Structure 1
């Protein structure tokens, strides 16, 4: 039986999830207690266990829901009809806005810290967030090629290359703890460089 099959939805499901998210992001998996989660969510332990038979399932659902929320927000502002420079600039700012946010950083570090305990967490994280964005970007590139705005043979590779260009310089500094905040000017520099490099390679 899958983890999803063991989770029961109900009237207070979102309430439990919200409380668990706050506690997990604050205390991590090991430091989070069921008592603290129930208290934060404003439910009894019996109610919490009725939705999630164990803490592991609850943790997995919190991580999945946060990634999905990130992807949904990004897709809401993604206009497939806009010209490449405009569309890619918006995508880059949305992407970096999340991964550089407090929430984005905490989710990333939580997933890395718990990857040995939950080997399936990385796959679930990727499929519910980055993979959704990758598919959307691939769809956009396909449409732009059809309009004659770009010349690309391998859409998936081009989408991955653009995502990596957006992380140049800043991402290593973030994950190795050299910096935790970046100015708008620093982000603009990376985004503009990513877009111009991408267009130099794939512009029609």
Structure 2
């Protein structure tokens, strides 16, 4: 049984512990993070932490899951799915770029890659809470737009993955390799607009 499979016990100070764990993991990485430090930052005892989580891996997995879900839900609230594909996809691209270029996403991605051989469940948690969730939500819109005759798509999962890769063009690789850490709105808008236009050139009805 992996940490991911174990039940999480929630209590009065659960969110407090989760916030402290988030700070420590992002600051020290997975290997460098200690339960003692998480307890100190969270202002709780180690016993309280272990009453919620079986181990450090389960704690990290929950930090990733909760933050990815929060970012995804926030992004979706800003998108009106009844608007035309050009508008919706351009805004979706902006939101996606905001997420993948965020400090949280960059740091967690590096942690998951660094620990992939020893703890593959960490990367699985990030993948399922981030890219998989995003693809599922985008597919919902693509199917609705296709039903309205606005798009012509046979493989919705593939189309959603292609859109995500178009959005990450040039910017994500520069960020993840530490070449560039800040991106202005004009640059993000340009990439988002081009991703939308390229996608619609292939899938527009």
Settle same-fold status: TM greater than 0.5: yes
**Superposition deviation, residue 112 in structure 1:** 1.6
Which digits, 9 at most, give the CA deviation of each residue in 1:52-109, with x for residues without a partner?
A: 2322221222122222222222222233211101100111111101111222211222
Paired positions, count = 204
Q: Which residue of 1 aligns with 2:31?
A: 30
Structure possessing the higher relative contact order (Cα contacts under 8 Å, 6 or more residues apart): 2
Normalising by structure 1, what TM-score? Answer: 0.93
Q: Counterparts of 1:143 and 1:164 in 2: how far apart (Å)?
A: 21
Consecutive unaligned residues of structure 1, counting only runs of 5 or more, are: none
Q: Which residue of 2 aligns with 1:193?
A: 194
Alignment of 1:1-204 (within 5 A): 1=1, 3=3, 4-204=5-205
Q: Counterparts of 1:74 and 1:114 in 2: how far apart (Å)?
A: 28
**Superposition deviation, residue 6 in structure 1:** 4.0
CA contact (8 A) 2:57 2:122 kept: no
Consecutive unaligned residues of structure 2, counting only runs of 5 or more, are: none
**Superposition deviation, residue 130 in structure 1:** 1.4
Q: Counterparts of 1:6 and 1:203 in 2: how far apart (Å)?
A: 45
Secondary structure in 2 matching 1:5:
coil
Q: Counterparts of 2:114 and 2:131 in 1: how far apart (Å)?
A: 19
